[in-house]
Amino acid sequence: MKCNEMPEILVTYLYDESTQEEAKKVRAHLKTCSRCRKSFEELKQTSGLLSRWEDQSPGISLVFVNEPFARWKSWKEHWNSIGWTRRLSLALPVLAVCVLLVLSALNFQARLDNGRFEIGLSLWPHPQGVSSEDLQSLLVDFRRETLQLTSQLLDEREFRQNQAVTSQLVRFAQDIERQRVHDLMLVGQGLEGLQFSTEKRLDQTSEVLRRMIQLANFNPDGR
Amino acid sequence: MTDGALVKRYLNGETQAFNTLVWRYEKPLYNFILRNMGNEDTARDLCQTAFIRMFRQLKRLRDPEKFAPWMYRIALNLCRDEFKKKKNKKFFYLDENPGDHSANTMTNIADENTPSPEDLCHQEQITEILKRSLLGLPEEQRVVIIMKQYQGLKFTEIADILETPVNTVKSRLYSGLRGLRQILEESRFNKEVLFHEM
Ligand SMILES: [Zn+2]
């Protein structure tokens, strides 16, 4: 054992972490080397003095319960604990999307052109310089177009209504026709029945008359 | 039950398992921070902050069995942040009152409102002297001394927490103990008390 290797060996021995074999060697060296012996005694003294500082009671009592916002908070903690580069790499895309959304919201464009409705989202602002006359004429055009469209709508609606009424009338007429045919058939059948029964009656009556005539012929002095 | 089992239970939704971990480590962690920072109020605050941070970040702990090293790392980071804050404040203070600081390093290290060791009883004197002397050491040496002397951690465990080779830990401990002895010998505080103890 060399003296210049002793510091690490001595503290290991002091705190009882040497192997049995190593401890034996240390004791042997300390017997022969006064410098290391002195050094070891001082270490032991200092350590002994340190042990006079006893543990104190913390005087706190922490009890943990489930937090309702634990997830959000842990995310926040995570955010705080990560480095700037990671933060930047997380934040930049989000920021970019936000900026895009704001820009497109600012330049939101809706147009009504010859009855065609157009919606435009654009990244760049549209030219702004519109005079009040232009605006007026635009407004007039817009009104006219609206009027046209409204009248078109009305026309269309009327047409559709007419169509509906016509088709209903046609169906109604067809229904009436069918009903009439049916009724006529019933009347025909009824008339036939009547004719038949009338003929039968007439036959019966003529038969009775014939018998009466016969009876009258057999009994000439009946009256 | 091992730390790892408790961590797993907590991650499965048992908040009570985390409270068991708090009860297990509250005192050691508080004393670790106290000896590192030298102030009870600060230690109490940082200890609470450390547990709250653990409570929220525990799912990011990869190996549940390594709860204790992870806990010490969190506490250490909090202590370092706090030291930085204090340092900035102190510089500000010194700039405002350039001639106001005493020549003795020991009194500068401790807070102004803590009592001087002469006013205290024997046990309290020793505690106060040790507190101030430890604060006079470089942080890397002080932390190793506290971990070995008071937390009773193995050299390999300390190396794991500090992510440093074991031999570096040992040489820091050696230098720390020697430095501490020097500070104690140079101190103007009641030498009889110390030499009686030593
Ligand atoms: Zn030697």
In terms of domains, do B20 and B60 share one?
yes
Q: Is residue B91 part of a domain?
A: no
- Given an 8 Å threshold on Cβ–Cβ distance, is A77 in contact with B130? no
In terms of domains, do B75 and B129 share one?
no
Q: Is residue B153 part of a domain?
A: yes
CA of B107 to the centre of ligand 1 (A): 37
In terms of domains, do B81 and B125 share one?
no
- Global pTM exceeds 0.90: no
Among B45, B61, B85, where does a domain finish? B85
In terms of domains, do B79 and B8 share one?
yes
Please report residues of A whose CB lies closer than 8 A to that of B157: none
- Closest chain B residue to A45 measured between Cα atoms? B198
- Given an 8 Å threshold on Cβ–Cβ distance, is B22 in contact with A64? yes
Percentages (nearest 5) of helix, strand, coil residues in chain A: 75, 5, 20
- Please name the residues between 99 and 128 in chain A that touch chain B, using a CB distance below 8 Å: none
Q: Is residue B75 part of a domain?
A: yes
Checking if the pLDDT of B156 tops 80, the result is yes
Q: Is residue B90 part of a domain?
A: no
Predicted local confidence at residue B20, as pLDDT = 95
Residue A206 sits at the chain B interface (C-beta within 8 Å): no
Q: What is the DSSP string of A27-49?
A: HHHHHH-HHHHHHHHHHHHHHHH
Maximum Cα–Cα distance across chain B: 59
- Given an 8 Å threshold on Cβ–Cβ distance, is A55 in contact with B150? yes
Q: What is the CATH number of the domain that holds B50?
A: 1.10.1740.10
Residue B141, domain extent: 117-197
CB pairs under 8 A between A and B: 108
Instruction: Round to whole Å and give the CA distance between B28 and A56.
Output: 9
Among B70, B85, B100, where does a domain finish? B85
> What is the per-residue pLDDT across A92-130, written as a single tens digit (0 to 9) for each?
888 888 888 876 777 666 677 777 777 666 666 555 556
- Given an 8 Å threshold on Cβ–Cβ distance, is B27 in contact with A57? yes
- Given an 8 Å threshold on Cβ–Cβ distance, is A62 in contact with B173? no
Mutate to test the interface with B, among A14, A16, A49 (most CBs of B within 10 A): A49
Instruction: Round to whole Å and give the CA distance between A11 and A199.
Output: 146
What's the whole-number mean pLDDT along residues B46-64?
94
* ipTM greater than cut 0.90: no
- Given an 8 Å threshold on Cβ–Cβ distance, is A11 in contact with B184? no
More reliable by pLDDT, A113 or B72: B72
Instruction: Round to whole Å and give the CA distance between B59 and B70.
Output: 12
> What is the per-residue pLDDT across A132-163, written as a single tens digit (0 to 9) for each?
788 888 899 989 999 999 999 999 999 999 99
- Given an 8 Å threshold on Cβ–Cβ distance, is A46 in contact with B53? no
Among B35, B66, B85, where does a domain finish? B85
What's the whole-number mean pLDDT along residues B137-146?
97
Residue B59 sits at the chain A interface (C-beta within 8 Å): yes
Q: Is residue B100 part of a domain?
A: no
Q: Is residue B97 part of a domain?
A: no
Predicted local confidence at residue B95, as pLDDT = 42
Nearest alpha carbon to residue B174 among A4, A101, A31: A4
- Closest chain B residue to A73 measured between Cα atoms? B56
- Please name the residues between 107 and 126 in chain B that touch chain A, using a CB distance below 8 Å: 123, 126
> What is the per-residue pLDDT across B158-187, written as a single tens digit (0 to 9) for each?
999 999 999 999 999 999 999 999 999 888
- Apex B125 CA angle, B121 and B131, nearest 5: 150
- Please name the residues between 56 and 95 in chain A that touch chain B, using a CB distance below 8 Å: 56-60, 62-66, 70, 73-74, 77, 81
In terms of domains, do B145 and B188 share one?
yes
Instruction: Round to whole Å and give the CA distance between A4 and A29.
Output: 12
Query: Quick count: other Cβ atoms within 10 Å of Cβ A145?
Result: 14
In terms of domains, do B75 and B134 share one?
no
Query: Rounded to an integer, what is the distance from CA B47 to the centroid of its chain?
Result: 11
Q: How many domains does chain B have?
A: 2
Q: Is residue B172 part of a domain?
A: yes
In terms of domains, do B77 and B128 share one?
no
Predicted local confidence at residue B196, as pLDDT = 60
Over the Cα atoms of chain A, what is R_g?
A: 60
Q: What is the CATH number of the domain that holds B138?
A: 1.10.10.10
Predicted local confidence at residue B115, as pLDDT = 60
Q: Is residue B99 part of a domain?
A: no
Checking if the pLDDT of A64 tops 90, the result is no
CA of A28 to the centre of ligand 1 (A): 10
In terms of domains, do B189 and B146 share one?
yes
SS3 track for B79-126 = HHHHHHHHHHHHHHHHHHCCCCCCCCHHHHHCCCCCCCHHHCCHHHHH
In terms of domains, do B141 and B79 share one?
no
